[in-house]
């Protein structure tokens, strides 16, 4: 197995340092915003006591999309948007119906893809192979790349 010289290793790490730092920064931001939005969702769901098609009260924010009838789902969405815009700094600056957590997660995905586009050619790999790989394999590759600069 061929190993990289220390100079080569240093230049590789330096070339990915900024994209990796961006990924780290956006991971933190996305995690915080996801937790804040889910907390607000949970609160709104508890307050509104909306039901799914089987008549079960929906309290889990991950399944809020199951609220029936559609009119109730729209009321939930409207109240959620209002609460998010009031409680999360900067949310009011986003276009209407944009979720700050989803925007941050999208930005994270873009930053991860930028990191892959930077590291893959150095390793002789097509970035699209990693970008389009199974999510767990893609994530492992990104995590290993980020670890190089920490």
DSSP string, 77-97: HHHHHHHHHHHSTTGGGSPTT
* pLDDT tens-place string over residues 80-106: 999 999 999 999 999 989 999 999 999
User: pLDDT, tens digit, for every residue of 3-51?
Assistant: 555 557 677 788 899 999 999 999 999 999 999 999 999 999 999 999 9
What's the pLDDT score for residue 43?
97
Determine the Cα angle at 93 with ends 99 and 39, to 5°.
35
Domain that holds residue 108: 18-147
Determine, yes or no, domain membership for 104.
yes
Question: What does the pLDDT read at residue 50?
Answer: 97
At 149 the pLDDT is: 86
pLDDT above 50 for 1: no
Residue range 68-83: average pLDDT? 96
Please classify residue 43 by burial: count the beta carbons closer than 10 Å to its beta carbon, then call 0-12 exposed, 13-18 middle and 19+ buried. middle
In a domain, 11, yes or no: no
Q: Is residue 8 in a domain?
A: no
Grade residue 143 by pLDDT with cuts at 50, 70 and 90. Answer: very high
Closest CA to 104 of 19, 36, 18: 36
Tally of domains within the chain: 1
Is residue 38 domain-resident?
yes
Are 37 and 84 in contact by the 8 Å Cβ rule? The answer is yes
Has residue 1 been placed in a domain? no
In a domain? residue 69:
yes
Per the structure block, which two tokens stand in for 48? 């509104």
138, part of any domain:
yes
As a whole number of angstroms, the distance between CA 43 and CA 59 comes to 9
Residue 58 lies in a domain: yes
């Amino acid at each position: 197995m061929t190993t990289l010289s220390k100079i080569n290793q240093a230049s590789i790490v330096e070339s990915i340092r900024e994209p990796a730092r961006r990924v780290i920064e956006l991971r933190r931001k996305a995690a915080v915003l996801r937790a804040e939005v889910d907390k607000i969702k949970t609160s709104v769901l508890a307050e509104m006591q909306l039901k799914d098609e089987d008549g079960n009260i929906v309290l889990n924010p991950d399944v809020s999309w199951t609220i029936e009838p559609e009119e109730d789902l729209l009321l939930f969405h409207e109240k959620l948007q209002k609460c998010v815009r009031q409680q999360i700094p900067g949310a009011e600056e986003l276009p209407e119906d944009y979720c700050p957590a989803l925007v941050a997660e999208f930005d994270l995905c873009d930053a991860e893809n930028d990191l892959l586009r930077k590291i893959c050619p150095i390793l002789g790999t097509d970035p699209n192979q990693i970008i389009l790989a199974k999510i767990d394999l893609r994530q492992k590759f990104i995590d290993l790349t980020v670890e190089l600069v920490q």
